[in-house]
A and B are shown apart, each in its own frame.
Chain A
Amino acid sequence: MTGTSTSANGDRPAETSWLRHHRIDLALHRLTDGEDPTFRPLLLLHGLGERTPGAVPAEVAWPGPVFGLDFTGHGRSTVPVGGGYTSEILVGDVDAALDRLGQVTILGRGLGAYIALLISAARPAQVVGAVLADGPGLAGGGVHPGSPMVAYPAPGSAPVPDPFALLELARDVRPPDYAQTYVRFVVERSGLERPVMVAAMVRPAWLAAVAAEPGVAEAGIGEALAFFAGSADTA
């Protein structure tokens, strides 16, 4: 299933294609072909409660195609019934996009930054560099589970983004040593000397631990993307 959505840039409208992950239809938006449509794509992962932007963000310079994925319960993707979100499920969302796109570089905002780290560890041959940037949902639910609670959306909440996603993914526990394990997976299996770039100013405990790991560099979004645009996969 493919469709055409709103105009995303000056040269052509964005195209939305659809991916299936379990019982969810995921919207994958092509924001631009870039100067070289054959170049490795850049995949944008939005923050918690956000959606793929309608146009390539001003801070993003990439020589090839730029895509954005709407996570489960966000943007134009299916809103599930009854919640049940975890970050790991969203890793499966991105894996479905990789199955379609092949090799990519990823720029993740907030929640999308955390997911970018996990998918980089899971698919090191396909993710040629991940940039972790500020955005909603960066901190998650801290390093330990809090007091157990049952949360329901306020009556009348807008259906999109799924209010259960907002509630549950804001409580998603992210121990620093867990995140470090994934960095080590990336470094071990990626062919890049610095496969992860931290662009975020805000450093929750998991991201501070990631930034301190060998193989992780700190750079602004523009510098990080330029680095990965000049990197060839050697995995």
Chain B
Amino acid sequence: MAPPSVDLTDTEQAAARYPGARRPDRRRVVEAAGVALSVVEWGDVDAPPLLTAHGGFDFAGTLDVFAPMLADAGWRVVSWDQRGHGDSAWTHLYSWEADLRDASAVIASLPPTPMPFLGHSKGGSMVMHLANLAPHRVSALVNLDGLPSDGTMTDVADHERTRRLRDEMDAWLAHRRTLVDKQRRPGTIEELAERRGRMNPRLSTEWLRYLVTVGATKDDDGWRWKLDPTMRMGGFGPWRPEWSMLRLPGIGVPFLGVLGMDLEVMGWGTQPRHVLPYLPPGGRLEVLEGVGHFVHIEQPHQVADLVLEFLS
């Protein structure tokens, strides 16, 4: 899959070139209960599959540097855009259960042998759940900074937590009242990169510009992210971070967790002490100092080497 070149200015074509980035070798569509999911693959189709799950508000194209490194080492790297993200369909509803069902449809489209699962952030939590619900399909598990912990909330007083919940509920309902016919704001590649940079402050401008060329579409009035414009960070509900961590001790296959220690807006601030008691037998935790939440984008070589050594 080549980056779009038709109707792009020279500047835009330059943005679509990033050192080491390689678009997937194949794309197909998997239908999950009526939702069209875009599934992409890097590497030889006959190589052993390795399932990768992107984080929330990301898309499979964010793996364009990291995934080829794994593919070049002999893996068939398979990923998909979660519903509402990237090139997958926008839907009426979004939920964790629906995301797991979608992921299961992607897994069902692959050969029925166990394979490694790898996920970043939300995708890391997702693969831990998938390893619990389909242990017969997973051979090893890699979680890249996707280990939510309530450790960062222990110093917050109960009344402050309650106030945050109420504020979040109010904000969420206010947001829901604005959704009808909502569209993303168009802009130039520079403008979209700048907006995304607020959530990804440690990532380079060149990388963010590149992401625009694969994660946005160009219309007559400018570029727009493909992400469903009605999606929003946060929300309210009963979910607690420790519920995700409780999936970890029962993992029955080799486990590698990677934590980026520099806290940033999209990360959890999870510390090794929050994870170590939950590691499954033989589980391994690697701590990357001076690296933020997007460990595989900030340090793709280091993280790919870690993963390949672990899988070997």
Residues in A lying within 8 Å of B, measured CB to CB: 20-24, 72, 78, 80-89, 91-92, 95-96, 99, 121-123, 144-145, 147-152, 164, 168, 171, 173-175, 178, 181, 184-185
Contact = CB atoms under 8 A, between A and B. Distances in A.
Interface centre among A78, A91, A145, A171 (most CB of B within 10 A): A145
A44 B247 CA distance: 39
Interface string B80-113: 0001000000011111011011101000000000
A79 B91 CA distance: 11
A178 B162 CA distance: 10
A81 B104 contact: no
B236 interface: yes
Interface in B141-184: 162, 165-166, 169-170, 172-173, 176-177, 179-180
A72 B93 contact: yes
The 6 closest A-B pairs by CB, nearest first: A84-B93, A80-B92, A84-B98, A82-B35, A148-B133, A92-B176
Given A86-B93, A150-B133, 10 more contacts: A81-B35, A82-B32, A82-B101, A83-B97, A84-B83, A84-B97, A95-B173, A95-B176, A99-B177, A152-B33
Contacts of B169: 121-122
Contact of A173 (B83, B93, B238, B247): B238
Given A20-B180, A88-B236, A95-B176, A148 B132 contact: yes
B282 interface: no
Contact of B93 (A85, A87, A150, A171): A85
Interface residues of B, number: 38
B133 A21 contact: no
B177 A95 contact: yes
A118 to B, nearest CB: 8
6 contacts: A83-B95, A88-B235, A92-B173, A123-B173, A150-B104, A184-B162
B230 interface: yes
Nearest to B170: A122
Contact of A84 (B95, B179, B237): B95
Contacts of A72: 92-93
Contacts of B101: 82-83, 150-152
A22 B166 CA distance: 22
A233 B169 CA distance: 22
Nearest to B243: A145
Contacts of A85: 93, 95
Nearest to A83: B98
Contacts of B104: 150
Contacts of B97: 83-84, 168, 171
A72 B98 CA distance: 16
A121 B167 CA distance: 12
Nearest to B165: A181
A82 B180 contact: no
Contact of B95 (A23, A81, A86, A92): A86
Contacts of B170: 122
A84 B91 CA distance: 9
A81 to B, nearest CB: 4
B34 interface: yes
A81 B100 CA distance: 15
Given A20-B180, A81-B34, A92-B173, A149 B166 contact: no
B133 A185 contact: no
A150 B95 CA distance: 13
Nearest to B237: A88
B98 A82 contact: yes
Given A21-B176, A82-B32, A83-B93, A150 B100 contact: yes
Interface in B29-69: 32-35
